Structure 1
Amino acid sequence: MLIIRSLSIVICFALLIACQPQHSDAIKQYQHASAGAFDAAISADGQYSLVSTVEHGVAVWDNQANALKFQWYLKEDEQNLVIALAIADDNSTAVTATKTEFAVWDIQSGENLGFYSIKASHIRDIAIANQGRYVLYGRADGVAVHVDLQTGRRIEFLGHQEKINAVALSPNGRYALSGANDYAAYLWDTRSGQVVYRFNHASRVTQVALDPQGRFAFSAGSKRQASIWDLRTGAQHSQLQYIARQKIFSAVRFSNDGQWLATGSPSRELALWETQSGKRVIDYQVAARANSQPKSAVVFAVAFTNNNQLLTESSSGLSEYFNIKGMP
């Protein structure tokens, strides 16, 4: 049974937190999950956050008002096991997923728009198109599935040979990007299932992203290769420049103008890069939860806000704002 709880006031733990978290470079911090988060997503404009928690289901936050808007529960009497979630680029809808089920929600009303179960393998990552019409999810058996929720049409992409780690979907639902343990990321057409481009890596692909304007794609391997691709030609546009032999990205977002890329890592790192050159402009650190061991946090999501700031959600349960340095 799907449960929705709406809150009309800003509850006390939405205020600026008074505890003393591990050092952070943030200019503002808000507590969104007191016991930490399983996963999180932020809307493209930074207005909304979804935070998957143990005790309180999926919390929907209005970041402009600093208010808890809804709490979504897939099953009231069970612990929340939402391991993947996403917000449509137009802020209309969201999708939340356990390993074997997913639900689609109206962000404005909080209403559930559908509940779906999968019969094969389990979900690894999920994405949703504008108006909530299309959902894309990647499975542990290497299959990516695109579903038209209006007509019921499903298409399975069988190009991968191993477990899928990350998926992304264009805002109109037409193009999908999937990355897997088979050292490849594929951009493919969701109408035909045909490959548009294959992006090769020297290690398993752990993260992918699409520029909503259709200019660029991003894919990152588990070792020293994180590339920005030109979607007009399929050629590499730039490669992120860093020294580490192994680097994992847990969050990534293109700026609206396509000039910048923001990334987060499982080791508290938030970074801003130039898309043209791949050069790193600035590094930040998000906060770890107070008294946590080890002192670390996974950056689950990042977004560019309208006032030239970066907004993050992390496993510490904190929402944090960072002033952007180095941008015109």
Structure 2
Amino acid sequence: MSNNAASLLLGYQNGTVEFIDLQTGRRLLFMGHQSVAGDNRINAVDLSANGRYALSGSLDGQVLLWQTTDAQLLSQWHQEQNITVVRLDPQGQLAFSANAQGQGEVHAIPSGQLLSKLQVPYRGQTFVSARLDAAHNRMLTGSTSRRLELWQLDSGELLQEWQVGTHTKLRPASAIVYDVAFLDTDHLYSVSSAGLGETWRITFKEHKHE
């Protein structure tokens, strides 16, 4: 949803994405994912804060940035394997996408230029949530296997990581981090499949340049 719940973006299994202006009732169907042969089911969508730009990712690895005013395609890129998460930064300058193999990429928008790839230290990791903080050159991601991670945007370097809580009575004890957020410059928030909302403190200090 956009700011103040003014508009909504929905992705469908038939490869279409629907934009809905909740104030006027205007609807727009975006068919851009159907232009490439393959399984183009929509796996992930994100909407800019002002509701003017949409980012959508599909099962065949396509990531498309487009306008909600007229469905005009602005940029696109492709990743191997199906896309699991897409995210725009609040200022509308950067976009993040990741696939089922745990490969995450940061792109400039609207050009779509690749800026960095996440230096993921683990195999079998799948990103399911993300939040960008371009003003502080960092990004937060939530993954399978309880992982909550802080990254440097321009280099893809892993800065700090945590493991979210679990229900101790469940075996094996694990959790998926469904959503993440920056509370302020020093604190984070996560929501997981264990039914827990947790607050975390950033202890990593930014590198100082001489």
Same fold per superposition (TM over 0.5): yes
| Greater relative contact order (Cα < 8 A, sep 6+) | 1
The CA deviation at 1:294 is: 1.8
Letter in 2 for 1:260: R
Question: Which of 113, 120, 143 is the equivalent residue of 1:235?
Answer: 113
Q: 1:323 aligns with which of 194, 201, 205?
A: 201
CA change 1:232–1:155 in 2 (3 A) is closer
1:213 counterpart SS class: coil
**Deviation of residue 224 (structure 1)?**
4.8
1:224–1:290 distance in 2 versus 1, CA, 3 Å: closer
Shift of 1:196: 0.6
Determine which of 93, 97, 122 is the counterpart of 1:215: 93
Per the alignment, in what secondary structure is the counterpart of residue 320 of structure 1?
strand
- Structure 1 unaligned residues grouped into runs of 5+: 1-127
Equivalents in 2 of 1:294, 1:246: separation in Å?
17
Taking a change above 3 Å as real, the CA distance of residues 158 and 224 of structure 1, as seen in their structure-2 partners, is same
1:147 aligned residue:
20
Q: Is 1:188 matched up with 2:61?
A: no
Contact 1:211–1:258 (8 Å) recurs in 2: no
Q: Check if 1:314 corresponds to 2:192.
A: yes
- Which protein has the larger Cα radius of gyration, Structure 1 or Structure 2? 1
CA contact (8 A) 2:134 2:153 kept: no
Distance (whole Å) between structure 2 residues aligned to residue 294 and residue 285 of structure 1: 15
Q: Does 1:279 align with 2:161?
A: no
SS in 2 for 1:257: helix
Change (3 A) 1:213 1:301: same
Corresponding residue of 1:167: 45
Contact 2:102 2:126 in 1 (8 A): no
* TM-score, normalising length: structure 2: 0.90
Residues 297 and 245 of structure 1, relative CA distance in 2, 3 Å threshold:
closer
Q: Distance in 2 between matches of 1:306 and 1:183?
A: 33
SS at match of 2:32: coil
CA distance in 2, matches of 1:156, 1:187: 14
Q: Once the 2 structures are TM-superposed, how far is the Cα of residue 245 of structure 1 from its aligned partner?
A: 4.7
Q: 1:234 offset after TM fit, Å?
A: 1.6
Q: Where do 4+ consecutive residues of structure 1 move more than 3 Å?
A: 243-246
Work out the CA distance in 1 between the residues paired with 2:62 and 2:91: 23
Rounded to whole Å, the distance in 1 between the matches of 2:7 and 2:166 is 35
Aligned-partner Cα distance in 1 for 2:205–2:64: 31
The size of the alignment, in residue pairs, is 201
Matched position secondary structure for 2:127? coil
Task: Name the structure 2 match of 1:299.
Answer: 177
